[in-house]
Amino acid sequence: MTAPMEALHVTGVNVTYPSLQHGGSVVALKDVNLQINSGDFVVALGASGCGKTTLLNLLAGFLSPTQGELLLGNKPIVGPGSDRGVVFQKHALLPWLNVMENTEFGLKLQGVPKNQRRATAAKNLELVGLQDFHQHMIYQLSGGMQQRVGIARALTCNPAMLLMDEPMAALDALTRETIQELLLDVWRHTNKMFFFITHSVEEALFLGSRLVVMSPRPGRITHTYELDFNKRFLESRDARAIKSSKDFIAMREIILSIIYGDERAAEQSEPIHV
């Protein structure tokens, strides 16, 4: 069974939260518009508080917009669903279950027969290089291996879209690079929509086929860039050569100057309240 080839449309989305500090409301997202097609790897980057997690929570269906619309295919997003898999930063696996049981968990909840769900989970564990670790308990795995289980688990219900909120943030630099490369292989293999949040400009440039830069107060998308460093990696397999290339470094400096500018501006301003 392949995931349906459908696009995600975010149109005119605003989110305001009640502000505990100031009594009024905080505008977390303002007039956000975004389209993601099958095979797009969209990375969101921006200064702290620019609304990245709020946007991911909307896509996951954990949160509803104050205004605007989110459509996956023809269906409005009104809550979490098996058409979207989420990979969290950490602590999302069930420690009392082994690797296979964690990976097949979503299919078990759906009532899929054991043989069938084990076959699907095994395929996804192979995709992330954990074919020899089915029986391991989560505490027996390194942080990088745990994130591989997280990715396999998020893929197991064959979602149209994979949502990732800083999934590499807790990993050491070397493991992080290995998982970045693995993620690009998974992306090429599955051709799903990927939405990925990071604080690392280098990671964003390396992974994304589209980079959306967000700016805080109020949170909005201010810049969009189409990128091909990921495709260049998939052709050459030489991540170091790509990350040290002139155009990669030039793009990194452009993005850093935007984000540093936003951070300085945010330090000097109060959140926008309504």
Ligand X SMILES: Nc1ncnc2c1ncn2[C@@H]1O[C@H](COP(=O)(O)OP(=O)(O)OP(=O)(O)O)[C@@H](O)[C@H]1O
Interacting residue ranges for ligand X, rule: CB under 6 A: 17, 26, 28, 46, 48-54, 219, 271
In whole angstroms, how close is the CB of 242 to ligand X at the nearest point?
25
HEC states along 72-97? ECCEECCCCCCCEEEECCCCCCCCCC
Tokens matching residue 223: 């810049």
Decide whether 57 or 158 has the Cβ nearer to ligand X.
Answer: 57
In whole angstroms, how close is the CB of 203 to ligand X at the nearest point?
14
Decide whether 56 or 227 has the Cβ nearer to ligand X.
Answer: 56
Distance CA 137, CA 159 (A): 25
Decide whether 26 or 93 has the Cβ nearer to ligand X.
Answer: 26
Strand order in the sheet with 75-76: 25-36, 8-18, 67-72, 75-76
In whole angstroms, how close is the CB of 207 to ligand X at the nearest point?
17
In whole angstroms, how close is the CB of 26 to ligand X at the nearest point?
5
Pick from 126, 106, 127, 130: nearest CA to 116: 106
Decide whether 45 or 112 has the Cβ nearer to ligand X.
Answer: 45
Decide whether 49 or 167 has the Cβ nearer to ligand X.
Answer: 49
Strand order in the sheet with 220-226: 84-87, 161-165, 193-197, 41-46, 210-215, 220-226
In whole angstroms, how close is the CB of 228 to ligand X at the nearest point?
26
